[in-house]
Amino acid sequence: MTEQTSGRRVVTNMSLSIDGRYAKTDPLDMSWVLPYAVTDVARDHMVSLFEPATTALLGRVNAEGFLGFWPTVIGMEGADPRDEAFAKWLVDTDKVVLSSTLTEAPWERTTIVDNPTVDVVNDLKATEGGDIVVFSSASVIKALLAADQVDRLALMIFPIFLGEGPRLFDEALPATHWTLTSQTTGPAGEIALIYDRNR
């Protein structure tokens, strides 16, 4: 494992197609993700990311989607225990939502912040706690990658070409080096990858 220079790691996670896209042209169309998101590899990947984390950092759109859906999984008949564990963690953990339009949080244990992503993360890293994890908030992850503030980059690669839609990795990202610390391949061709930033 890579040594960390500060107490709290910034961990980001995103699901990608082979051609590097995190969404279709219609970002609400998640049909391409669903067959792979429910595999053992994908579920175990999520568990490995949320268990060491004590703060979830979310963009507004992602927060509305996550916090509208995941609490309904708690107590759901037939729910996978790993999904229910993630749902409970999301409800119980501290959440920071980046938004310039929300004025108050409609969710418990949530702080709304209208500041640049980099400043918010610097403030969080100055506090005590576990990992600061960003699940699937592309705008937040892009800002952190551009500022070289990601300590652990987690990716789920799904065996599909979307052909169109936004990409996670933009031009002109800073040149950085990473160490592959975990790689798991599932029977459907899905791959869970975890890279730690070399500093």
Kindly report the pTM of this predicted structure. 0.92
Q: What pLDDT, on a 0 to 100 scale, did the predictor assign at position 104?
A: 85
SS3 63: helix
Into how many domains does the chain fold? 1
Higher pLDDT, 193 or 67: 193
| Residue 184 β-bridge partners | 192
**Domain encompassing residue 127:** 10-197
pLDDT-derived band at 30 (thresholds 50, 70, 90) equals confident
The 10s digit of each residue's pLDDT in 1-21 is 334 445 899 999 999 999 999
The 10s digit of each residue's pLDDT in 123-168 is 999 999 999 999 999 999 999 999 999 999 999 999 999 999 999 9
- Which residue, among 156, 136, 116, has the nearest Cα to 12 in the 3D structure? 136
CA–CA distances in Å: residue 117 to residues 5, 27, 99: 20, 22, 10
| 141 is a domain residue | yes
| 2 is a domain residue | no
CA 181, CA 163: separation in Å to the nearest integer? 29
- Which residue, among 66, 72, 70, 64, has the nearest Cα to 87 in the 3D structure? 70
| 5 is a domain residue | no
Determine what percent of the chain is predicted with pLDDT higher than 70.
Answer: 97
| 4 is a domain residue | no
| 1 is a domain residue | no
The 10s digit of each residue's pLDDT in 67-80 is 889 999 999 999 99
| 111 is a domain residue | yes
Q: What pLDDT, on a 0 to 100 scale, did the predictor assign at position 4?
A: 42
CA 15, CA 26: separation in Å to the nearest integer? 16
How high is the mean pLDDT of the chain?
A: 93
Helix (H) or strand (E) holding 119: helix 117-125
| 71 is a domain residue | yes
- Which residue, among 84, 101, 90, 83, has the nearest Cα to 56 in the 3D structure? 90
Q: What pLDDT, on a 0 to 100 scale, did the predictor assign at position 1?
A: 38
Q: What pLDDT, on a 0 to 100 scale, did the predictor assign at position 2?
A: 39
Residue-level length of the chain: 199
| 3 is a domain residue | no
Calculate ∠ Cα 170-130-64, nearest 5°.
55
- Could you tell me the CATH number of the domain that includes residue 97? 3.40.430.10
- Which residue, among 31, 103, 110, 100, has the nearest Cα to 67 in the 3D structure? 110
Calculate ∠ Cα 161-165-166, nearest 5°.
115
- Which residue, among 192, 150, 147, has the nearest Cα to 9 in the 3D structure? 150
Q: What pLDDT, on a 0 to 100 scale, did the predictor assign at position 6?
A: 53
Average pLDDT over every residue of 28-32? 88
The residue behind tokens 């060491």 is: 52
